[in-house]
Structure 1
Amino acid sequence: LSFWTLEGDRVECVHADGFGENDDIYLVSDIYPDIFYNLTDNPASDRNPSWPDNCGPATEDTQQSSPSTESAEFIIGYEDADGVMTPNQRTDLDQACSELPIVCVQDDFEALIEQHVDAIISFSSRWHVMGSSPQIFGAVGNEIPVIVLNAETDAFGAYNLSNDSSSIQETLSWMFKEMGGTGELTYFVFGQNAIHQSAVEAVLSENPGITATQLPAEYDDNSVSWENIDALIKANPGLGAIWSDENVQQLLIAVRGIMEGQPPYINCELKDDFIGLWQEAMDTNPLFKCVATVNPGGTAYEGIYFAYYLLSGHQVNPEALTGPYGNTLYYDYPVVTNETLEAFLGSLDEFRMGDWGIYELAPMTPEKILDNWFIE
């Protein structure tokens, strides 16, 4: 959370647990000699500050963007327990909250449930959604809808804004189609994540002609390095495809060295430097092929608007619900291959650059959110 000091300096307010034996609340700014200024500094664990964003001199814009609880139609809470909210998402969240007659408050699940907020936005990941499952079920059990961003929960009463499982299905299905429905696949699921593992197995179950081998991949080892991938390809000359949910640039570095014959099909990502390597590989070996998806980038903005429309009485369109649990909102996103890469590069103004340098879908407009996900 950000606010102004009495001297008019804007600072950030956070909780942190890395500076002592317990959590404390800190002000963060370069106006402090050590950057961090401990506000609480007591033996208890102090977490999740919820002070208002504008407690100093307010401008007309900030006054309009922060309606009082009395004038707001709804109170929408949001949680970011794992700190996965990106700068773009922070901006998108603030913009959506300022555009609507709502109050947005940050806290953890338990506190938001106790505050009886009208809905909860969960900034999530494929790891966080598993660890927070009891809290998600606790919220929907209290009739508080939960909107999970960038991950998928199976909780009834929750909605997912993600194409995670869909992207896995699209990229693997493309590989298997290119292979003619038969052949060998080697794949990596980092950290043995159960959600990604389940998504991969779902696609494999629909393709009995594919012989799949999973190799271990951990964040603290070098399992998916270009050297190991190169050795894998040389030891398995009939390997048809390699898929990984992390470190995919290492796949490309290894495969682009194959000058002749059919290299294994791989998945790619849409970063500028990666795209350059992709194009070089195509020039070196016309048989090289890769696939990538443009993933949703505006889920924070879209999540706030989805919650607002839902609370306002709009009915979710059942045809817009997809995913492994039937509660994931549908995204129409491009699947980029060799054949469509040029067209994608010619339409970059339709996308935006994400925080990590990867092209992503820009937030949908409020009108499009209403049209795509709700019944008129």
Structure 2
Amino acid sequence: MTDQEVLDTFFVKEQAATRKFTIGISNPFISSEYRTQMIAELIEVNKEYMDKGLTTELVIESADTDVAGQIQQLQNLMAKGVDAILVNPSDVNGLNATLQEAVSKGIIVISVDQELNVPGVYNVGIDQKEWAKTSAKWLAEKLGGKGNIVLIEGFPGHPANVARMEGVDEVLSQYPDIKVLAKDTGKWDEATGQQVMSNFLAAYPNLDGYWTQDGMAIGALQAVIAANPAKFPVGVGEGRCQFLKLWEEVLKDRPDFETIAVANPPGVSPTGLRIAVNMLLGKQVDKSKLGGANGLSFVIPVPIVITKDNLQQGLDICKDKPDAYLLDGIMTDQEVLDTFFLK
């Protein structure tokens, strides 16, 4: 018998190899522990699919850049023939034409962490507006509905910041006796947030409270500690181990100190990757489970909110984690299927 006859007669034919999918990542902001954790988790979750023979290594375009630079990132990913793009957008509208170009090429496009209203572009993330409203309501209630406060926002124009500030404004509109004395940007940076807060404390020594977000909350609390006013202004915090440990330290000298930390999970991005892989595999999205401005948003629940009542729970999570770790949640592949896809 020939070699081919032997193979045809006695050996099981090897099935044609399943095509592997390539997923691209566009990230325009790297000066952030959130983004560092996000990228690391994307690589880790993608490895699960690589080990199953479903995906290749991620194609990652990640650098501090502006809208034009992120458009170039997206063009690079399209040129490399990716099957899906996860984009953490730098602007509410600036990427729209490029994202629609990707959609027209048959690429699955998912905006992670920040919601866009672009035809054909899916969104995966928490509800940023509701996320901000949670801590803004807490602040307003702790102030008894009155007082003078300041706001420290992230980058103006970034989709998440826009949604968050809309949420804060919506809450504060219900409390006419809470006066916003000033607002400034801390650029989602701890050191900048600390400087902005120091300036506010110097300008308004009798400040009653402040609202901020992300790593700027660590800087803001550090500024308050350094200024050491007789009465600390009431402020909101961050669901990061560094902040929770700082909170614990403050309690040693000020046992009545209170704040709130609403988790902003980097895990929404690897959850988005799981969604993308299942879509590439031909699984059908249950669009009745989607929401958002364009009806294409996979809304991920906030995994945890830390107050004085469960601070120890947060500290326990942080026991084996670095200070930079953000309290997180990544949906499993089965949870993604059960929650968002047709059975």
The TM-score normalised by the length of structure 2 is 0.71
Q: Per the alignment, in what secondary structure is the counterpart of residue 338 of structure 1?
A: coil
Secondary structure of the structure 1 residue equivalent to 2:309: helix
> Matches of 1:291 and 1:368 in 2, distance apart?
28
Q: How many residues are paired up? A: 300
For 2:131, the equivalent position in structure 1 comes to: 167
2:23 to 67, 72, 77: 77
1-side partners of 2:158 and 2:20: how far apart? 35
Please give the residue correspondences for 1:37-48 in structure 2 after superposition, counting only pairs within 5 Å: none
Task: Give, as a single letter, the amino acid of the residue that structure 2 aligns with 1:274.
Answer: F
Q: SS in structure 2 opposite 1:187?
A: strand
Deviation at 1:81, TM superposition (A): 5.8
Percent identity reads: 18
Counterpart residue number, 2:179? 211
- Structure 2 gaps of 5+ residues are 1-14, 31-35, 61-72
Write the deviation string for residues 273-305 of structure 1: whole angstroms up to 9, x where unpaired. 432321122332344221112232334432222
Contact 1:75 1:104 in 2 (8 A): no
For 2:211, give the aligned amino acid.
I
Q: CA RMSD in A?
A: 3.6
| 2:121 aligned with 1:158 | yes
Shift in Å, 1:170: 2.3
Amino acid of the residue matched to residue 336 of structure 2? Answer: I
Aligned 8 A contact 1:159 1:329 in 2: no
The residue number in structure 2 matching 1:136 is 99
The residue that corresponds to 1:176 in the other structure is 140
Give the match for residue 331 of structure 1: 301
CA displacement 1:240-277 (0-9 Å, x = unmatched): 3332455222221233465754x322222344443232
- The residue identity in structure 2 corresponding to 1:197 is V
Give per-residue Cα distances to partners, 1:44-91, cap 9 Å, x unaligned. Answer: xxxxxxxxxxxxxxxxxxxxxxxx9x7335634313363746334323
Equivalent residues of 1:72, 1:103 under 8 A apart = no
Q: Please state which structure has a larger fraction of its residues in strand.
A: 1
Q: Which amino acid aligns with 2:51?
A: S
The 3-state SS of whatever aligns with 1:148 is: strand
TM-score (norm 1): 0.66
Which stretch of the first structure deviates more once superposed, 360-369 or 96-105?
Answer: 96-105
Q: How does 1:181-200 map to 2 (within 5 A)?
A: 181-195=145-159, 196-200=161-165
The 8 Å contact of residues 171 and 291 in structure 1, kept in 2 or not, is answered as: yes
1:178 Cα deviation after fit? 2.3
Counterparts of 1:332 and 1:207, CA distance in 2: 22
Change (3 A) 1:98 1:287: same
Question: Is 1:268 the counterpart of 2:268 in the alignment?
Answer: no
- Show CA shifts across 1:119-145 (max 9, x none): 3222x25x2675433322222344533
Query: Structure 1 residues 346, 194: closer, same or farther in 2, change over 3 A?
Result: closer
Contact 1:329 1:373 in 2 (8 A): no
Any idea what the Cα deviations from partners look like across 1:161-202, whole Å, max 9, x if unmatched? 333444323222321232334433311224433531343123
Say which of 71, 88, 109 aligns to 1:146.
109
1:168 and 1:95 mapped to 2: Cα distance?
Answer: 33
State the partner residue of 2:66. Answer: none
Q: Which letter maps to 1:288?
A: F
SS at match of 2:306: strand
Paired with 2:129 and 2:18, the residues of 1 have a C-alpha distance of 36
Q: Extract unaligned runs of 5+ from structure 1.
A: 1-67
1:87 to 9, 20, 40: 40
The residue aligned with 1:282 is 251
Distance 1:81 1:248, change over 3 A: closer
Q: Which is bigger in relative contact order (C-alpha 8 A, separation at least 6)?
A: 2
